[in-house]
Amino acid sequence: AQSVSQHNHHVILSEAASLELGCNYSYGGTVNLFWYVQYPGQHLQLLLKYFSGDPLVKGIKGFEAEFIKSKFSFNLRKPSVQWSDTAEYFCAVRPHGNNRLAFGKGNQVVVIP
């Protein structure tokens, strides 16, 4: 079945540590890829997106993601996290020509000061 997989649902790390969240999808063909962040009690905000071109995408708040087509992956990274990065992070995939986003189950990230 087509799906979006995010592993390690709960991640706890200290400030200044590096963060990498994995996202794998099983859709064939062309896809658009997104990472959203949801701060406690708030709505989802777009961190970054990939449509085409350079597979290394820079987003807001120092986040970046790399699209590796051969691995069907779109991993999110941040070199040095801050306490304010405590949030839930969702990967989403939109198969080309489809109007809906398919979301992974999310990664709950807690940054300890």
* Half-sphere CA count of 7, side-chain side, radius 13 A: 7
Do 13 and 113 touch, CB atoms closer than 8 A?
no
Between 51 and 83, CB nearer to other proteins: 51
As to burial, measured by CB atoms within 10 angstroms (0-12 exposed, 13-18 middle, 19+ buried), residue 74 is buried
- How many residues sit in the footprint of other proteins (CB under 8 A)? 23
Stretch that binds other proteins, among 11-19, 58-66, 67-75, 96-104 (CB under 8 A): 96-104
* Binding of residue 36 to other proteins (CB under 8 A): yes
Residue 5: CB atoms within 10 A of its CB come to 14
Between 81 and 92, CB nearer to other proteins: 92
AA letter at 82 = Q
* Binding of residue 8 to other proteins (CB under 8 A): no
Q: What is the CA radius of gyration of the chain?
A: 14
Shortest CB 16 distance to other proteins, Å: 28
| Contacting positions for other proteins (CB under 8 A) | 4, 6, 9, 32, 34, 36, 42-46, 49, 51, 90, 92, 99-106
